[in-house]
Amino acid sequence: MKNRIKALAETLPENIGGALIISEENRRYLTGFSSTAGILIVTVNGSVFFTDSRYIEAARKQITHCRVEELKDFKTQIPELCRETGIRSLGIEAERMTVDELNRYSKALGEVSLSSSRSVDKTVNSMRSVKDGEEAECIAKAQKIAEAAFDDILAQISSGMTERDIAIQLDYNMLKNGAEDISFKTIVVSGVNSSMPHGVPSDKKIEKGDFITMDFGAVYKGYHSDMTRTVAVGNVSNKQKFVYETVLNAQKTAISALREGLACSEADKAARDIIDAAGFKENFGHGTGHGVGIEIHEKPTLSPRSKETLAAGNVVTVEPGIYLPGEFGVRIEDMLLITPDGYKNFTSCNKELIIL
């Protein structure tokens, strides 16, 4: 792993002496070490990772890019470190720190001021949005696991199963295939429920003529995957077919537009224009996609309001949908890596309408 701690220390603004990193995801990203508790102080003149007795032995073995010390009492150890290294102000993770944590650290640190200017967030978010080869490999592997689970579920869905049954089976398939966790609560919605983009799997039984939308992902070595497929059961109406083809066309068009330097709002527009033109402007309420990595939603965001630009190394989803309340909904989601010469689609499974 490259030295991300050093990279962060070197990009911190001059008025901030160091960064106070306490969130689980940023600690993991910067140190490569996963733990539920720890404090990482990043400075140009020597960064330190503190963790308690439960993790200290493993942390000392695994962390190579900074000093590791056992955390006994943050109220004395952190101020002491600041005095030793001459830190007068620490940037915090304003997006991630709770008010309670801020109060506790402010009290303990006394003279050292805490800066909530968001420059730490911005720097770490933008570092995290550009994946290195190792990260991209983990995400690709997570996606492979999810796809194998999807192939299995297609053979397992049968009449009489409920949305919950399918969701549980899909989760089981992913864990059985080597996922260390599932990316988020698996979404399985069918029939009239499929018009709710983030509906919760219910005890509704699958019926002939239903669309089933499944949105799910696997976690591998801390990295997430994310995919959605809508499949039909038994038969489909002409309207269902038309909506499906429209979403598929929007999704493929947005994907083919992806390239380094493209404004994220333009990627969104590529999909949205097609859905608007087909008469479903009001039925596509969410953004077209988002970054994926150590968290399921990361930078950059593909939405009409996004000010970001695609860069090589970004891993983003493209997931337009059309939702017709009281009728049905369709969403198709792939996950792609932006490369210097275009993109690589991590999602390899079929997108043409599957009728079970």
Where does this chain bind Zn ion (CB under 5 A)?
Answer: 215, 226, 228, 317, 333
CB atoms within 10 A of CB 182: 21
Sequence-separated (6 or more) residues with CB below 8 Å from residue 20: 39, 40, 41, 78, 90, 91, 92, 93, 105, 114, 120
* 163 versus 226: smaller Cβ distance to Zn ion: 226
How many whole angstroms separate alpha carbon 119 and alpha carbon 63? Answer: 25
Minimum distance from residue 60 beta carbon to Zn ion (Å): 37
Which residue reads 């039909």 in tokens?
232
Minimum distance from residue 171 beta carbon to Zn ion (Å): 14
Minimum distance from residue 132 beta carbon to Zn ion (Å): 22
Minimum distance from residue 215 beta carbon to Zn ion (Å): 4
| Tokens coding 204 | 């509704």
Q: Find, among 69, 132, 131, 124, the residue nearest to 92 by Cα.
A: 124
* 17 versus 320: smaller Cβ distance to Zn ion: 320
> DSSP for 8-73?
HHHHS-TT--EEEE--HHHHHHHHS---SS-EEEE-TT--EEEE-TTTHHHHHHH--SSEEEE-S-
Indicate the residue type of 313.
G
Inter-CA distances, 219 with 146, 148, 182, 187, Å: 9, 14, 6, 16
Minimum distance from residue 134 beta carbon to Zn ion (Å): 22
* 17 versus 287: smaller Cβ distance to Zn ion: 287
CB atoms within 10 A of CB 151: 14
* 228 versus 265: smaller Cβ distance to Zn ion: 228
Burial class (CB in 10 A: 0-12, 13-18, 19+), 343: buried
* 165 versus 215: smaller Cβ distance to Zn ion: 215
Minimum distance from residue 196 beta carbon to Zn ion (Å): 14
The DSSP secondary-structure symbol of 355 reads B
* 93 versus 215: smaller Cβ distance to Zn ion: 215
Peptide bond into 300 cis (omega under 30): yes
Minimum distance from residue 290 beta carbon to Zn ion (Å): 6
* 148 versus 214: smaller Cβ distance to Zn ion: 214
